[in-house]
Structure 1
Amino acid sequence: MTTLFAPTPTAAPATGPGTSRRTRLTLARRLVRPESVLLVSGAALVPWLYVLARTLPSTARVGHWNVAWVGLDALEALGLLSTAALRRRGDDRHRLTAAATGALLVVDAWFDTVTAAPGGELAAAVAMALCAELPLAAVCAALALGRERRTVRDDRPLTPGMRPTRR
């Protein structure tokens, strides 16, 4: 993994017939950086968005609509519960689940509002987005981006025989 993020060498090693397969793979990993792949992929999506906007129908009949929404909400519940459990244990991996859950909540708010019928259904979707989904997404974002949790052990060394206390 460290070879993916190692600085690119100024002079590339020879890749002739005498170089090993491992050396060639290491060189390929250094030349194909994750940032480059992400940049090219993101840029390639821009014209695709135009194609989608011009060719997709504005309405569609969808099978298993209920399964899609139940699945999304189940993933949100799992994300919220796992984030809470990891954070309660003091595990910094809660940042990962918080980031994913926050993204799911924003997606849910978006699709709830854009797929709602005008009138009461749209009002309910906007209310849910503003009062539940987006505030929870903000909490998740704050947890994902926040500082590491400090414990008593981080503050000062414990003296043998003394119990740790919270401030």
Structure 2
Amino acid sequence: MTLVAPRFQTRRTPRPRLATLLTGAGVALVPWMVVLAKTLPHTAEVSNWSTAWIGLDAMLAAGLGGTGLLLGRHDPRAAPLAAATAALLVMDAWFDVTTAASGGARATAVALAVCAELPLAALCAAVAARRPVF
């Protein structure tokens, strides 16, 4: 008599409670965004501005470099890192453009977003979509 091992799913299905929690959190952010839109000042002076931007750029460097290294090794962990890096690149482009002063600074931010950050984000998203996530 031959025993056959049971087949296991390669992907886990999300737990219903976790799915409900995450969906609820997303929905709860909508009224919070309305509150912020009505109460936040148009301009603000910010502490540690350079530290925040340098930290974001450090995360981008680690994400891009790590994705490249893992991709070069055909390591499936490149996919989730590429997805996270894509999200950071889009966020970086958004904040660069929306926080830039009018004129030359905004034109530079838009040019960098269109020519560098968003194309890199699309490339990382393509890497993430083609690689299996374990």
Which category of TM-score, normalised to the shorter sequence, fits these structures?
0.7 to 0.9
CA distance in structure 2 between the partners assigned to 1:83 and 1:33 by the alignment:
32
Extract unaligned runs of 5+ from structure 1: 7-29, 149-167
Identify the residue that residue 42 of structure 2 maps to in structure 1: 58
State, as a whole percentage, how many aligned pairs show the same letter. 57
Separation in 2, partners of 1:5, 1:83: 26
Structure 2 unmatched ranges of 5 or more: 1-8
Does residue 113 of structure 2 align to residue 118 of structure 1?
no
Q: CA deviation at 1:147?
A: 4.8
Q: Does 1:77 align with 2:65?
A: no
Which aligned pairs between 1:87-102 and structure 2 lie closer than 5 A? 87-102=71-86
TM-score normalised by the chain length of structure 2: 0.85
Change in 2 beyond 3 A, CA 1:82/1:147: closer
Residue type at the aligned position of 2:81:
T
1:147-158 maps to which residues of 2 (within 5 A)?
147=131
Match of 1:131 in 2: 115
The offset of 1:39, in angstroms, is: 1.0
TM-align CA RMSD: 1.8
Moved beyond 6 Å, runs of 4+: none
What is the Cα deviation at residue 113 of structure 1? 0.3
Whether the 8 Å CA contact 1:5–1:33 is kept in 2: the answer is: no
Which one scores higher on RCO, CA 8 angstroms, separation ≥ 6? Answer: 2
**Structure ID, larger Rg:** 1
- State the distance in 2 between where 1:147 and 1:94 align: 7
Task: For 2:81 and 2:87, locate their aligned partners in 1 and report how far apart those are by CA, in whole Å.
Answer: 10
- Go from structure 1 to structure 2 and tell me whether the alpha carbon gap of 1:41 and 1:124 turns closer, same or farther (over 3 Å shift): same
Contact 1:94 1:144 in 2 (8 A): yes
Deviations 1:13-66 (A, max 9, x none): xxxxxxxxxxxxxxxxx7x62111111111111111111101111110001110
TM-score of the superposed pair, with normalisation by structure 1 = 0.69
Alpha-carbon distance in 2 for matches of 1:147, 1:64: 37
Indicate if the aligned counterparts of 2:83 and 2:128 stay in contact, CA closer than 8 A: yes
Counterpart position of 2:6 = none
Post-superposition Cα deviations, 1:62-115, rounded to whole Å, max 9, x if no partner, equal: 011100111001100000000011111111110011000000000000000001
Number of matched residues? 122
Question: Residue 94 of structure 2 aligns to which amino acid in structure 1?
Answer: W
More helix by share: 2
